Structure 1
Amino acid sequence: MLPRQRPDIGWLDLVCAAAYTLRGGDPAAAQAAAEAGADALADDGRHSLVSLSVRSGFDRLLATLQLPPGSEVLVSAVTIRDMIAVIERHGLRAVPVDLHADTLSLDVAALAAALTPRSRMLLVAHLFGSRMPLRAPLDFARQHGLLLVEDGAQAYTGDGWLGDAACDVSLLSFGPIKTATALGGAVLRFADPGLCERVRAAQAHQPLQAGRAFAQRVGKYALLKALTARIPYGLFCRACGWFGIDHDALINRSVRGFAGGELFQRIRQRPCAAQSRLLLRRLRGYPRARAAQRAQRGERLLAALPLARPGQAVAGSGHWVLPVLSADPPRLIAGLLARGFDATRGASSLYAVPGDAAPGAGDLRRVMDAVVYLPAPEGEGDLRRLAEAVRATVTDAAAA
């Protein structure tokens, strides 16, 4: 059985993570070292802040800005659900802006139509491992005095990119299912050093992430990494079937960075020393060739399939996930599972942001219910067999 996704972290990294939890140390010094490491890697004149998660950093950013209640944040119409929850928690209103399904870029006409005198921020999300061209959003934000925040949580590939240097704020995630995961943690990059310092000061007043909680996370993802080896994973899926357990829902719950509990209680913490040290290790040591090979295999696989995909006109995607569009997602998932490939509809927390205006004709929101995420092939044999399995499943569905 080919799993839908394995934690992108090596056993040596997990051993180091465990050692970091035993080492303890000054969390502020570890955080500062990780921030200096990020600044050195990016070398774009901006300033870094390490947070517990993108949600945590974005929450502190909004707390620091103190925008007037009822202010509007223009957001990509497909984004992470919790980001909308953070916006609303601060008394602000999220206004969705259409995204072209083929290019995953903002619709400029929809952006202009969404603008009102209450608009204060533009939050753009790079989706499915792509990096949206930002020239038009940047020009629009400058013209209308909007703070441009770039959510690059799904776009990091370890190639030295740490956000677009022209953005006011960039958000990078190293959560459990991300490329080069540090099992958590995020890097926020600021063009304005004064704003960076104010957000850092706001974060410094929050409680510290418990070292025990981080140690438990290391153990959890070590177990998950072992479980998602092919033979154990196949046995796991079979056992779930015997006991009537939905393995898809179980796995999706287990890899959520903040599953269970009250969201804001969980995100309003600052990272412990071990978390910052692991993040710095991942920033410095992630092999660029690994992500490049994954991207190449993903592109070849998707090009060989009889299914459309969101972002099919995008060049250079990192293929962090492999989404395709299916007329019957449950049938496609069941057919692939029967052929030894574990596809899912829940590989990320993306959702279509509701709004007053109906989605435009080419809006990504119109097709999100049709998205199925394929497992990532780990070699040429996987690639060939998975493509054959998709084609066979689609053919069977057409004949039914």
Structure 2
Amino acid sequence: MFWFPVYPYACLSIDCSWFDWFRALRRAIYTGEKRSVLLKNLTKAFSDEDNVIVSISVRTAFDVYLRALNMPKGSEILMTAINIPEMVRIIKLHGFVPVPVDVEVDTLAVTPDKLEAAITDKTKLIIATFTYGVRYDLTEIAKVAKKHNLPILEDCAQGYIGQSYKGDPNADVTVFSFGPIKHATTFQGAVMIIRKNPFILQQAKLIHDTYPIQSGKIYLKKIIKYSGGIVLLNIRWLNYILRPFLLKAKFDYKKRVVSLLRGFAPGQGLEVYRFRPCTAMLSFLWRRISHFDEKKFMEGMKNMQEGTDILIKGGVTVPGLNPKDRTFWLYPIVAQDSKKAYDVLNNAGIDTYSGISQLYAVPVPEGSNIPKPEKSYEMFKNLLYLPIHKDVPKKDIIAICKHTVKLLNPKL
């Protein structure tokens, strides 16, 4: 008998069954499917027009789009203040300036007035990132963008929910990710949809078509590598048995898992992204999206919403609680004393993470007069992630949320 109860779930999960993993493995070893047919099918799945680029990652797609825009050095790119460090680094490697815009904690959205205040004569692009799976309407942001003649890139890397959402028509570009810990994962891969500007679309396709096709052996290695993540994160009995011993030994297994799940080693040059996906990856991506069970997915989201209601009523802050179209990727909460809360929750068997995602608070450029995104900074400083995701049974979601409220708000 263990010295404390354990909820056998991690806050990260790999959205891939062993059956799907073997399907990916089989394709990586051999597939007789034609690239042209797969690309055509994938394009039709995401758009009624021929305006889709399938890449090995969102970073690849972003790099391609920036190259196609061909903006002058020193151009400013407005972006949601909670973002991926690598997206910021790509902007800087192109010679551009990333400018963070504050988000509202209850919506995780950028407000039009804050966006307007950040625009200068150097601003050339707006990136609206749907953080933690939260999606919001771009209509008002699009009005600001149109006023200043700025394109909008809608970053849905964390927000694939099936074919019912293929991007906001207000956005000039929409990107979806199918990386290791994303919904319907193919262990790498992304889709970029470019609207409104045929010239930019043509340029982006020409640039992407110059990239060599990634070796099938590299994709095979990724599939084998991420099988370790499936073992460590998805197997409940193993999670239940090992975690108490790892905690007792003060072994930072979380950091090891996060390192394992990185799609790319940090700090490399842009050339690491400049490949096209192999046929095996295209085949597996087509398999995942054509068999995506949206009904089951939304049932999982509904269960998580019930857990959210318990947390909110119990006085726990859940970022992005207001949007009607709320879906969940990682599950963040904000604690008053995040270090203390982290220890309390983990010692109670709730596998809470801190700093496990590749997200961070984007710094304001040196010498800039743009106000600091204080709400984003304060929120991010106190973020924790609960072990709640779509594959956790409803009864366990409710139990974890009730236990969390009891531990973090003992006065109730």
Q: Deviations over 1:252-299 (max 9, x none)?
A: 111122135625343222211111111111111111023202211111
Q: How big is the shift at 1:159? A: 4.2
Partner residue in 2 for 1:53: 57
Pick aligned residue for 2:16 from 1, 9, 20: 9
Give the direction of change, closer, same or farther, for the CA distance of 1:227–1:91 in structure 2 (3 Å limit): same
- Opposite residue 305 of structure 2, the aligned amino acid is E
Partner residue in 2 for 1:285: 291
Q: Deviations over 1:294-327 (max 9, x none)?
A: 2111111111013011112222211112111101
Deviates more, 1:332-341 or 1:291-300: 332-341
Residues 139, 170 of structure 2: 8 Å contact kept? no
Partner residue in 2 for 1:118: 122
Deviates more, 1:370-379 or 1:181-190: 370-379
Find the aligned partners of 1:261 and 1:208 in 2 and give their Cα distance: 22
Find the aligned partners of 2:350 and 2:250 in 1 and give their Cα distance: 19
Q: Deviations over 1:28-55 (max 9, x none)?
A: x52x444423332334546110001000
Q: How big is the shift at 1:184? A: 0.7
Residues 53, 192 of structure 2: 8 Å contact kept? yes
**SS state at 1:38 partner:** helix
Deviates more, 1:214-223 or 1:124-133: 214-223
Q: Deviations over 1:147-179 (max 9, x none)?
A: 211111111111431211232111110111111
Partner residue in 1 for 2:372: 359
Find the aligned partners of 2:50 and 2:112 in 1 and give their Cα distance: 27
Q: How big is the shift at 1:346? A: 3.0
Partner residue in 2 for 1:380: 394
Is 1:216 the counterpart of 2:229? The answer is no
Residues 55, 276 of structure 2: 8 Å contact kept? yes
Partner residue in 1 for 2:201: 196
Q: Within 5 A, what are the aligned runs for 1:152-231?
A: 152-191=156-195, 192-228=197-233, 229-231=235-237
Find the aligned partners of 2:373 and 2:347 in 1 and give their Cα distance: 37
Residues 105, 320 of structure 2: 8 Å contact kept? yes
Partner residue in 1 for 2:147: 143
Q: How big is the shift at 1:247? A: 1.1
Pick aligned residue for 1:314 from 300, 323, 327: 323
Deviates more, 1:35-44 or 1:103-112: 35-44
Find the aligned partners of 2:338 and 2:190 in 1 and give their Cα distance: 32
Residues 129, 320 of structure 1: 8 Å contact kept? yes
Find the aligned partners of 1:380 and 1:187 in 2 and give their Cα distance: 31
Residues 4, 376 of structure 1: 8 Å contact kept? yes
Is 1:102 the counterpart of 2:102? The answer is no
Deviates more, 1:236-245 or 1:112-121: 236-245
Give the direction of change, closer, same or farther, for the CA distance of 1:213–1:238 in structure 2 (3 Å limit): farther
Residues 46, 193 of structure 1: 8 Å contact kept? no
**SS state at 1:104 partner:** coil
Residues 11, 330 of structure 2: 8 Å contact kept? no
Is 1:392 the counterpart of 2:406? The answer is yes
How many residues were matched structurally? 394
What TM-score comes out, normalization by structure 2 length? 0.89
- Opposite residue 117 of structure 1, the aligned amino acid is D
- Opposite residue 290 of structure 1, the aligned amino acid is K
What TM-score comes out, normalization by structure 1 length? 0.92
Residues 104, 310 of structure 1: 8 Å contact kept? yes
Residues 52, 270 of structure 1: 8 Å contact kept? yes
Find the aligned partners of 1:95 and 1:301 in 2 and give their Cα distance: 35
Q: Deviations over 1:117-148 (max 9, x none)?
A: 11111111011111121001111112211121
Give the direction of change, closer, same or farther, for the CA distance of 1:346–1:279 in structure 2 (3 Å limit): farther
**SS state at 2:72 partner:** coil
- Name the Cα RMSD after superposition: 2.2
Partner residue in 1 for 2:239: 233
**SS state at 1:318 partner:** coil
Q: How big is the shift at 1:186? A: 0.2
Residues 345, 404 of structure 2: 8 Å contact kept? yes
- Opposite residue 188 of structure 1, the aligned amino acid is M
Q: Which runs of 5+ in 1 are unaligned?
A: none
Find the aligned partners of 1:202 and 1:317 in 2 and give their Cα distance: 35
Q: How big is the shift at 1:348? A: 2.5
Give the direction of change, closer, same or farther, for the CA distance of 1:16–1:255 in structure 2 (3 Å limit): same
Residues 361, 380 of structure 2: 8 Å contact kept? yes
